[in-house]
A and B are shown apart, each in its own frame.
Chain A
């Protein structure tokens, strides 16, 4: 297995207590698998993805085990993780367009970054240019300052840079959010391309936009309020979801080409529970049409068929 996460718990420190952003998450990503991580804002997907690479100041590791290619990832130890970053696990951040140092030429920054990681620029330069051309950028980009590039160009540069050392796992965090629809498609294709070329082995694509995942992902993991709701192949999740939350999520998607004159677009009524002092039991209980008394106890994330797991008493008891 490429990535194995077991009961991972990552909380945010706040003055009022711990916000339980990632509260006991277990899943795996195979070699060569592109897994989508979906859910609404605040469900913890970004926290989950980012915690695998880089714990920001407020985040604290509470428990759980993370293994990449069999070896443990010491995500609680900032310094120890450096060894793994960029080489084995890498990230394309949400803020890719402002991720490049504005006062350094791009090529120089990359050279200095590589040098600090013990890689000679001259050794990878050809490959770097080749990959840049692959995503539609000219090698000359290296001589420019970030301000001279468009947003899309900067994002593509970041994508190439993040995968330059061929990491086993790439975390792509909301990389299509700031783009228009046609560019979204292009970027999504690029991701798949990277895998085809062997630049990356597996990916976790974090997004709130499920339609992207449909184009790109092999499997989809749906999160709700810091916990897993459902995981299955893209086909299953999109066309035959089991968990009530996933079903409501999918059905609330507008279909292309359909007019919504008479039917109101139904969102999911209600709001997610606060993660500061989350309720006991299933966290979707308050908004779930199928909720029963049993849901006062947290349902386990159980496999209903090969490659498909759900956390719901009604569906997978």
Chain B
């Protein structure tokens, strides 16, 4: 896949700025990448094809995704501003309030995302991926 394809799908990235940081792979998705996991595809799919933390409802709800990240010691917070000593994630939802994407904040204050089956990118702003929807929740954990 190419920069051209990424920029066609996510035109805001051209404005806010981004950098490709990995090869494309279908082996993990953004939900896994936000959780620092590159071995498994995380999703509560109903055919039980994907990994989903045991005991967390296997449904596409924001609450289920929040619970999944709470397992990793993330807690809901109020701002996406960088805070020293914390790692933050942002969960995007579509118009039906179903989670579509997650990004993780880097030490630089920028964000990193896995774009579906495409590459990982570093992006300057959460707005760069507006095609995934709106930010529903920010979570953070101590590092």
Question: Do A and B come from the same complex?
Answer: no
